[in-house]
Structure 1
Amino acid sequence: MSTRVLYKVSFLSGGRIYELYARRVGSSPLWGFTEVADLVFDVGDGVVIDPVEERLRDEFADTRVLHLPMQSVLRVEEVDRKGAAAIRDAGSGDKVVTPFPLPAKPR
């Protein structure tokens, strides 16, 4: 087990459930908010790239600390190791993935 604490944070934003990993989670100095800091993303140098992880990394690239409204935080879990970050549809729970574009059918 790692000596550094790792949290999996699930929160609702724009009709989607975001699942991120962070090193620090606590009460924000802003009343009614939860502070999520030190976001953790895979820094894969390999050929295979997770499009969801890449999208989240781009979206939160310049973010030092997230201040999330307490009512949007669904779950905070202390975990032993990082899993895959995800974006899910809030209604169905299905992962939101941009499909690989397929060529149009010839007519």
Structure 2
Amino acid sequence: MAKKDDRIYRVIFVNQDQVFEVYAKHVYQSEMWGFLEIEEFVFGSQSDLVIDPGEEKLKNQFSGVKRSYVPNHAIIRIDEVEHEGVAKVTEAKGSITAFPMTPVPKRD
């Protein structure tokens, strides 16, 4: 098993009729209710000879992003993986079931 600092997560979520698959070093529940925080995005090596246009699009979109907040209901799946893969964006086809949500806490 990888050390805690070496962990890589694949996070798949829906964003405006597209499915994003990204890789990151840190994924956790945000202090903002209803959001997941994703930090330290991981993209393919700069020395790769073949450049994937989909991954390059995501790399540009998340360039300079320190932390991304994704609504819990947009999350499809989170996996801890041994190493990063190719980040990609695909069209959302068919039905995608939303992540179950807990009720909003009542305020007194």
Give the structure-1-normalised TM-score. Answer: 0.80
What do the CA deviations read for 1:43-76 (whole angstroms, capped 9, x no partner)?
3224321111111110000111111000001100
How far is 1:86 from its partner?
A: 1.3
Of 33, 39, 42 in structure 2, the residue corresponding to residue 40 of structure 1 is: 42
Unaligned 5+ runs, structure 2: 95-108
TM-score (norm 2): 0.79
| Counterpart Cα distance in 2 of 1:37 and 1:68 | 11
Q: Figure out how many residues of one structure are paired with residues of the other and give that number.
A: 92
16, 31, 35: which one aligns with 1:14: 16
Show the counterpart of 1:99.
none
What is the SS of the residue equivalent to 2:33?
Answer: coil
2:93 paired residue number = 91
Of all paired residues, the percent bearing the same amino acid is 33
AA in 2 matched with 1:11: F
Match of 2:65 among 63, 66, 72: 63
Supply the distance in 1 between the matched residues of 2:64 and 2:48 (Cα, whole angstroms).
Answer: 23
Q: Which has the larger radius of gyration?
A: 1
Stretches of structure 1 that go unaligned for 5 or more consecutive residues are 93-107
Could you say which residue in structure 2 is the equivalent of 1:54? Answer: 56
How far did 1:80 drift? 0.6
Q: Deviations over 1:73-94 (max 9, x none)?
A: 11000001111111111115xx
Amino acid at match of 2:17: G
Other structure's SS at 2:50 match: coil
Which ranges of 4 or more aligned residues in structure 1 deviate by more than 4 Å? none
